[in-house]
């Protein structure tokens, strides 16, 4: 397969989604990015490889082997590998942020973790290293058990971009917040109540998951993947298992595919219900929070009754799923879908008829479609700004290729549009769940995954509730026990956090919680 407009062939990976993998040269690295952009495609992820030894036993000679990028076009996903060679004592590669702005933070993270640098990039501030390790310590170049040495340096101020002018002042929010949300720092530059600029600093929840993955046996990695971001445990576990099954050339039973989709759609409904209530609450409509919290709690209890866990954690595993559904469980789920659909429709009518609520939502936090396309806004937030991408529709695999998924889109790009997309996705997910329950295949729901003895790669690609989850997995040659050589897990929040900064500009400070919640991005998912 070739990237349109680029004379370069890639090898297909054995996965249910169209994924191709291949090596490129530095010139082809940039040409590929430009070709994808010209075709209207997107950058999904950018990351560096694990450490390799470069000819001696000295730790200083450990270095990354390659930089990787994953792109999406209408033909599928392309996983590019650019082998790296030292140049003047520094590993570098051509900067992609001028072509895809979303690459900037990913490149900064790769520099912090693997000591690889985007040549020509203007912003080289540390992204994940908040001073927890020395500037010359790179976690992914160390043995998994190595801890960073104690660094007694004084704390360094982060070089936030300053806005100068009459009446301009700064408001610093976080990283510790008044509620129980995860830590993130937001630096507002304002005049009066109007926001001129917002700059984020994240990375406070960096946990070393990618390094920890290399200590896992491949058949156990799904458990850690499912804990990357607790609101997306099904999506991450499925993407990991898809990558492992791709690397092993394993085909799972039809019943397992349908049950995975059932759980994924239940996860989608649970998160949209919670966020619709929270958006209403941030617009001073506490009634919405009370009602949607009740509905979400009933929904989570239904997941617990059917799958043994409210969030369905550890229910997706290599080769299939942990359990089948009984007829009684399926019938109870069908009745729940019908009941909750009536209640969500009632709440939708209330939202639409509430003039005060609509006044808060409409035109607030708007992201114009042109800006969304340029910055790479993705997932439900992207679909609310005319970015019509949904893996379930664009590259459907079983069972989605039999369900005729209707994509929810809007063109206004404001909080109201993101709310409407959420409502539409709830109704569509409820329809899909009922179809799945009525057409669920009988038979085996698990199969054995036999790991290959040779080095191999696999990719997983799943449309989670927030957007597409991507997992790139590398297995090394046979060892006992076999270990993961590299596992990169990518959350759509990487693309969407920078766009939130633009969505807030021109709004008042008091609207930030509302705008922020309408995106509801993951801190943990991009702070691996």
Tens-digit pLDDT profile for residues 277-306: 999 999 999 999 999 999 999 999 999 999
Average pLDDT score over residue span 78-105? 91
For residue 131, what pLDDT is reported? 85
Statement: residue 413 has pLDDT above 60? yes
Burial of residue 328 (CB within 10 Å: 0-12, 13-18, 19+) is exposed
For residue 151, what pLDDT is reported? 66
For residue 53, what pLDDT is reported? 45
Q: Is the peptide bond before 61 cis (omega within 30 degrees of 0)?
A: no
Q: Is 361 contained in some domain? A: no
Q: Is 259 contained in some domain? A: no
Average pLDDT score over residue span 8-19? 88
Q: Is 35 contained in some domain? A: yes
Q: Lowest-confidence range among 69-73, 128-132, 209-213, 334-338?
A: 128-132
Q: Is 70 contained in some domain? A: yes
Q: Which helix (H) or strand (E) holds 195?
A: strand 194-201
pLDDT in tens, 128-161: 999 888 888 899 988 877 777 766 667 778 899 9
Mean pLDDT of the chain: 92
For residue 62, what pLDDT is reported? 59
Strands (E), 421-505: 456-463, 468-475, 484-490
Residue written as tokens 């009525």? 438
Sign of CA dihedral 421, 16, 79, 124: positive
Q: Who's near 331: CB < 8 A, 6+ residues apart? A: none
**Count of the separate structural domains present in the chain:** 1
Q: What angle do CA 343, 349, 353 make, to 5 degrees?
A: 150
Range of the domain at 74: 11-128
Q: Is 381 contained in some domain? A: no
Burial of residue 162 (CB within 10 Å: 0-12, 13-18, 19+) is exposed
Q: In terms of pTM, does the model score above 0.85? A: yes
148's tokens: 């960073």
Residue 496 contacts residue 520 (beta carbons within 8 Å):
no
SS3 string, 368-381, reads CHHHHHHHCCCHHH
Q: Is 100 contained in some domain? A: yes
pLDDT bracket for residue 55 (50, 70, 90): very low
- Count CB neighbours of 326 within 10 A: 10
What's the CA gap between 30 and 127, in Å, rounded? Answer: 23
Residue 500: phi, psi to the nearest 5? -55, -35
418's tokens: 């993101």
pLDDT in tens, 362-377: 999 999 999 999 999 9
Sign of CA dihedral 287, 293, 298, 302: positive
Statement: residue 184 has pLDDT above 80? yes
Q: What angle do CA 281, 284, 286 make, to 5 degrees?
A: 50
What's the CA gap between 24 and 82, in Å, rounded? Answer: 5
Q: Is 52 contained in some domain? A: yes
Percentage above 90 pLDDT, the chain: 81
> Angle of helix 254-282 relative to helix 286-307, nearest 10 degrees?
160
Residue 189 contacts residue 196 (beta carbons within 8 Å):
yes
Residue 225 contacts residue 525 (beta carbons within 8 Å):
no
Strands (E), 288-415: 316-317, 320-321
Write the CATH number for 20.
Answer: 3.30.460.80
Residue 372 contacts residue 387 (beta carbons within 8 Å):
yes
Do you know the residue count of the chain? 528
Statement: residue 315 has pLDDT above 70? yes
For residue 90, what pLDDT is reported? 79
Q: Which helix (H) or strand (E) holds 289?
A: helix 286-307
The residue ranking higher by pLDDT, 3 or 521, is 521
For residue 477, what pLDDT is reported? 83
Q: Is 169 contained in some domain? A: no
Which of 400, 87, 403 shows the shortest CA–CA distance to 257?
A: 400
Q: Lowest-confidence range among 122-136, 327-341, 369-383?
A: 122-136
- Return the C-alpha torsion angle 400, 405, 408, 409, nearest 10: 90
Pairing of strands 168-173, 185-191: antiparallel
Percentage above 70 pLDDT, the chain: 95
Classified as helix, coil or strand, 454 is coil
């Amino acid at each position: 397969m070739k990237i349109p407009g680029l004379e370069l062939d890639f090898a297909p990976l054995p996965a249910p989604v169209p994924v191709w993998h291949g090596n490129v040269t530095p010139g082809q690295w940039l040409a590929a990015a430009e070709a994808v952009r010209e075709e209207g495609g997107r950058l999904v992820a950018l990351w560096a490889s694990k450490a390799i030894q470069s000819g001696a036993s000295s730790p200083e000679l450990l270095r990354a082997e390659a930089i990787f990028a994953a792109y999406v076009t209408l033909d599928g996903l392309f996983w590019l590998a650019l082998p790296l060679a030292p140049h003047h004592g520094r590993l570098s590669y051509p900067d992609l942020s001028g072509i895809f702005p979303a690459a900037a933070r990913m490149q900064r993270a790769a520099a912090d973790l693997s000591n690889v640098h985007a040549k020509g990039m203007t912003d080289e501030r540390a992204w994940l290293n908040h001073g927890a390790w020395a500037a010359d310590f790179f976690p992914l170049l160390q043995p998994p058990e190595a801890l960073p040495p104690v660094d007694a340096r004084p704390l360094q101020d982060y070089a936030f971009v300053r806005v100068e002018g009459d009446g301009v002042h700064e408001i610093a929010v976080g990283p510790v917040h008044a509620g129980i949300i995860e830590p993130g720092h937001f630096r507002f530059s304002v005049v009066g109540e109007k926001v001129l600029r917002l700059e984020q600093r994240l990375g406070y929840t960096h946990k070393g998951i990618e390094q920890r993955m290399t200590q896992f046996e491949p058949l156990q990695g799904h458990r850690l993947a499912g804990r990357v971001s607790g609101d997306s445990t099904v999506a991450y576990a499925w993407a990991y298992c898809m990558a492992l099954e791709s690397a092993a050339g394993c085909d799972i039973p039809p019943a397992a595919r349908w049950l995975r989709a059932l759980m994924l759609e239940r996860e989608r409904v649970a998160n949209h219900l919670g966020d619709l209530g929270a958006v209403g609450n941030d617009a001073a409509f506490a009634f919405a929070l009370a009602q949607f919290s009740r509905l979400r709690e009933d929904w989570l209890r239904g997941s617990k009754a059917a799958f043994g866990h409210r969030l369905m954690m550890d229910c997706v595993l290599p080769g299939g799923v942990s359990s089948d559904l009984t007829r009684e469980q399926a019938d109870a789920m069908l009745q729940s879908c019908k009941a909750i659909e009536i209640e969500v429709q009632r709440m939708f009518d209330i939202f639409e008829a509430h003039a005060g609520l609509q006044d808060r939502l409409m035109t607030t936090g708007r992201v114009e479609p042109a800006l969304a396309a340029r910055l790479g806004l993705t997932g439900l937030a992207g679909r609310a700004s005319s970015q019509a991408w949904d893996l379930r529709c664009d590259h459907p695999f079983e069972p989605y290729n039999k369900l005729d998924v209707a994509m929810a889109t809007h063109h206004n790009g404001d909080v109201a549009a993101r709310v409407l997309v959420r409502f539409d996705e709830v109704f569509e997910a409820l329809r899909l769940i009922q179809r799945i329950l009525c057409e669920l295949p009988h038979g085996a729901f698990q199969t054995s995954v036999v790991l290959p003895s040779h080095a191999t790669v696999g990719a997983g690609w799943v449309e989670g509730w927030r957007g597409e989850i991507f997992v790139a997995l590398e297995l090394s040659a046979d060892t006992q026990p076999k270990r993961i050589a590299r596992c990169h897990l990518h959350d759509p929040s990487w693309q969407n956090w920078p766009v939130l900064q633009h969505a807030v500009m021109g709004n008042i400070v008091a609207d930030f919680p509302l705008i922020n919640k309408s995106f509801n991005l993951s801190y943990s998912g991009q702070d691996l």
